[in-house]
């Protein structure tokens, strides 16, 4: 093992652990070289982590909600305190420009604070002379949290923060491609949570399967590909485990007839190229009226031609490499297939030579209907620009995939409002795309998953409903009633 090792540890029961399984090599996607090894845990060590979480669960669930809030804020401050170090690891292992990695760490730190503002107050459903019925939200127990490789840190935090606030304990597993920043975050949070409340394990994909099938898990929160989500859902169904599945997307953007394509092209380009297209809610297909197709494609191709692609460590880089050689191969194969079927590439279209997993921003036109590049998630920096003759056709093609994460409409406001209801997506944006916010729920339909993340609606997923129904004998009603102890409407404090 010649590569230098980064000294990050797993967190098991509040203690550092180096792991006894063969360490996981972590590549720098800008060079293709292994630059570090991450610890990997054995099935026995996974048992230790889950047992620690199970042991800590009753005490954590019984703790005061305000104490949990205070600890979340402390976690945010601790993460902010090592922002540069975590961002450096994140940029190196994922490939994204350093300033974007810094922004992701800052957002993650802030997310703890935003989550701490939420509340799960009990509700009174009925309070009469004959009965008092209250509804409370109780935690699931141990949450298995599994994160993907594109935004490893924020997509971990938007699971663990609400899970912890709701009174669950957590075993978190990052992607083997991007484990280091998450493990480092686990170290930073260790002193701010009771032992066992947050465990961070690392290892290969099999560890994810071991975690989600562990008998002591009470809920699974997963973000990743459709294929993995399907495997997890199948296993969870056997045990009736609650799951949140945030899966792949293939978001369409429909540019409405007469839209100002010169003005919107740069925004559309950014919405498609965010994180080099490795963003579940990036624009993956652009439908534009035939009269404006050539102009919009030309504008996007010009932007693609000027984009600066490079290593995350280079301050000039706007777009980093793809996270792995496998992902590079997938994007290249989808574009090659489209070209073989008659599509034309206006910019990019081939992996950049040399080391690293670089694929340039690419604009493709004349895509025959039904090519894989249109129907499947490419998860790369490719913008297919597809002509339509009427908006019904555009809506039909936008809805023609298995996905249903996001979609957008650009241009005429009234027409956009009319069409928004016809798009099969968890979110329909108008004149923007991929604008995710901590106080707005995000969810997919179809193969893009089930359940919501973010804000109050995301928090609810980490709870189950429990009803307390008291009969009042002979109409005796206590002074003050149950409503004095409960909010009528939960949500933000
Ligand atoms: P992936 O499915 O390959 O891996 C995701 C995680 O699952 C990793 O931690 C992996 O180790 C783990 N895993 C793999 N096999 C497993 C198994 N059998 N059981 C349990 N866990 C297992 O996904 P990825 O390539 O890391 O991420 C990219 C995908 O994630 C894209 O499809 C993207 O659209 C999707 N994504 C969705 C959202 C959303 O909010 N909907 C957000 C980000 C990414």
Measure the CA–CA gap between 430 and 304, rounded to whole angstroms: 23
Closest ligand 1 atom to 173 CA:
9
Whether the CB of 155 sits within 6 Å of ligand 1: yes
Query: What is the reported pLDDT for 161?
Result: 98
Closest Cα to atom 21 of ligand 1: 208
Indicate the pTM of the whole model. Answer: 0.95
Query: What is the reported pLDDT for 476?
Result: 64
Best of 143, 148, 152, 223 to mutate for ligand 1, by most ligand atoms within 8 A of CB?
A: 148
Closest ligand 1 atom to 174 CA:
9
Which is the catalytic residue, given 45, 123, 246, 377? 246
C-alpha angle with apex 377: 376 to 381, nearest 5 degrees?
125
Query: What is the reported pLDDT for 429?
Result: 98
Closest Cα to atom 9 of ligand 1: 175
Structural domains in the chain, CATH included, are 10-247+448-463 (3.40.605.10), 251-437 (3.40.309.10)
Best of 224, 236, 380 to mutate for ligand 1, by most ligand atoms within 8 A of CB?
A: 224
Ranges in the chain, pLDDT < 70: 1-6, 474-493
Closest Cα to atom 22 of ligand 1: 208
Whether the CB of 365 sits within 6 Å of ligand 1: no
Whether the CB of 225 sits within 6 Å of ligand 1: yes
Residue 246: active-site member: yes
Closest ligand 1 atom to 149 CA:
26
Best of 104, 212, 228 to mutate for ligand 1, by most ligand atoms within 8 A of CB?
A: 228
Closest Cα to atom 18 of ligand 1: 209
Whether the CB of 317 sits within 6 Å of ligand 1: no
Query: What is the reported pLDDT for 353?
Result: 87
Closest ligand 1 atom to 177 CA:
26
């Amino acid at each position: 093992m010649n590569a230098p090792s980064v000294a990050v540890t797993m967190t098991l029961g509040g203690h550092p652990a180096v792991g006894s399984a063969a360490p996981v090599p972590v590549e720098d996607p800008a060079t293709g070289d292994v630059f570090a090894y991450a610890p990997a845990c054995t099935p026995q060590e996974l048992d230790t982590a889950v047992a620690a979480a199970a042991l800590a669960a009753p005490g954590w669930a019984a703790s005061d909600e305000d104490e949990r809030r205070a600890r979340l804020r402390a976690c945010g401050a601790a993460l902010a305190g090592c922002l540069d170090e975590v961002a450096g690891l994140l940029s190196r292992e994922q490939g994204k420009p350093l300033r974007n990695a810094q922004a992701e760490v800052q957002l993650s730190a802030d997310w703890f604070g935003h989550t701490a503002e939420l509340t799960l107050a009990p509700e009174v459903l009925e309070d009469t002379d004959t009965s008092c019925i209250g509804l409370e939200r109780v935690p699931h127990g141990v949450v298995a949290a599994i994160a993907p490789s594109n935004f490893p840190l924020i997509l971990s935090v938007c699971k663990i923060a609400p899970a912890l606030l709701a009174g669950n304990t957590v075993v978190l597993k990052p992607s083997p491609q991007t484990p280091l920043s998450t493990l480092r975050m686990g170290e930073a949070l260790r002193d701010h949570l009771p032992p066992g409340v947050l465990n961070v394990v690392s290892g290969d994909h099999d560890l994810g399967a071991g975690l989600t099938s562990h008998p002591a898990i009470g809920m699974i929160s997963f973000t990743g590909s459709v294929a993995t989500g399907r495997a997890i859902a199948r296993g969870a169904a056997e045990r009736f485990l609650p799951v949140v599945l945030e899966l792949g997307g293939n978001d369409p953007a429909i540019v409405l007839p007469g839209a100002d394509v010169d003005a919107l092209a740069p925004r559309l380009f950014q919405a498609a190229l965010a994180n080099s297209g490795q963003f579940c809610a990036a624009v993956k297909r652009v439908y534009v009226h035939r009269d404006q197709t050539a102009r919009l494609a030309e504008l996007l191709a010009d932007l693609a031609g000027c984009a600066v692609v490079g290593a995350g460590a280079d301050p000039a880089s706007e777009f980093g490499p793809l996270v792995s050689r496998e992902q590079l191969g997938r994007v290249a194969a989808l574009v090659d297939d489209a070209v073989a079927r008659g599509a034309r590439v206006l910019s990019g279209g081939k992996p950049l030579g040399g080391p690293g997993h670089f694929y340039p921003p690419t604009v493709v036109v004349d895509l025959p209907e039904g090519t894989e590049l249109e129907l499947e998630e490419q998860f790369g920096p490719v913008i297919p620009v597809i002509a339509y003759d009427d908006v019904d056709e555009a809506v039909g093609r936008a809805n023609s995939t298995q996905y249903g994460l996001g979609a957008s409409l650009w241009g005429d406001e009234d027409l956009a409002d009319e069409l928004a209801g016809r798009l099969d997506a968890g979110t329909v944006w108008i004149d923007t795309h991929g604008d995710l916010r901590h106080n707005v729920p995000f969810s997919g339909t179809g193969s893009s998953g089930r359940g919501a993340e973010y804000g109050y609606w995301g928090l609810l997923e980490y709870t189950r409903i429990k009803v307390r129904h008291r009969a009042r004998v002979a109409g005796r009603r206590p002074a003050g009633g149950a409503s004095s102890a409960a909010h009528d409407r939960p949500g933000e404090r």
